[in-house]
Amino acid sequence: MLYQHSIQTYDRTSGSASCRVLPGAGRAVSRGPIGQTGAVAVLATVDLGSSVAVLRRAEARDVPAIVDLLAADQLGATRDGVRAAEDLAAYLRAFQAIDADRAHLLVVAEAGADIVATLQLSFLPGLARRGALRAQIEAVRVHEDYRGRRLGEALMTWAIDEARRRGCALVQLTSDKSRHAAHRFYTRLGFVASHEGMKLSL
């Protein structure tokens, strides 16, 4: 296990870790009213060797850094980025929609003062497969300085574990066919490329 589940509250204003560490209590964190009390709940901590990253629920103040991660990506460069105030406003509106619904969980990995990875985990009810709840992962990004350090693996493993805790029967994602390294990465984690991922731009 590359990461440790914990509830580790720290002061939002200083950002310094403190207080309690409660191993194994990640489930309670992810279900609780995170971010409403002035304290930030850590979902897990990840040992990167020379440093540590914390996985936590994203907050509005993280949005510019998340957008930077999206735009730093080869495919995202043409689609994402903040060039004008209205761009940021659109991202913040989307953040509010995600954050207001407990069916969605936008996660960031923070190392020091930097947001170094992100993903969105969504929980979707459906009738198929005996009424199975399914987890869907979107917008997985790891900062290039943090690739090859198993941070992505820890982030994904946390997400899969969280899906299991919420009773999902399936985790699903789509990945652009040009991302060969990503497909190898997801396959190592147990994903099977059994489906065509089809998109229609409106």
What residues make contact with its own copies under the rule CB under 8 A?
63, 66-67, 70, 76, 79-80, 87, 90-95, 97-98, 101, 103-104, 106, 120, 122, 124-133, 136, 138-139, 160, 163-164, 168-177, 183, 186-187, 189-202
> In the bound complex, what is the minimum distance in angstroms from residue 79's beta carbon to its own copies?
5
- Whose structure tokens read 């497909």? 183
CA 139 to chain CA centroid, Å, is 8
> In the bound complex, what is the minimum distance in angstroms from residue 124's beta carbon to its own copies?
6
Nearer to its own copies, 20 or 199 (CB): 199
| Distance (Å, whole) CA 89 – CA 10 | 28
3-state secondary structure labels for all residues of 93-139: HHHHHHHCCCCEEEEEEEECCEEEEEEEEEEECCCHHHHCCEEEEEE
Nearer to its own copies, 11 or 176 (CB): 176
Q: Which of 113, 165, 160, 114 is nearest to 140 (CA)?
A: 160
Nearer to its own copies, 18 or 31 (CB): 31
> In the bound complex, what is the minimum distance in angstroms from residue 93's beta carbon to its own copies?
6
Contact 162, 136 (CB under 8 A): no
Nearer to its own copies, 20 or 196 (CB): 196
> In the bound complex, what is the minimum distance in angstroms from residue 61's beta carbon to its own copies?
14
> In the bound complex, what is the minimum distance in angstroms from residue 193's beta carbon to its own copies?
4
Nearer to its own copies, 21 or 132 (CB): 132
Dihedrals φ, ψ of 119, to 5°?
A: -160, 160
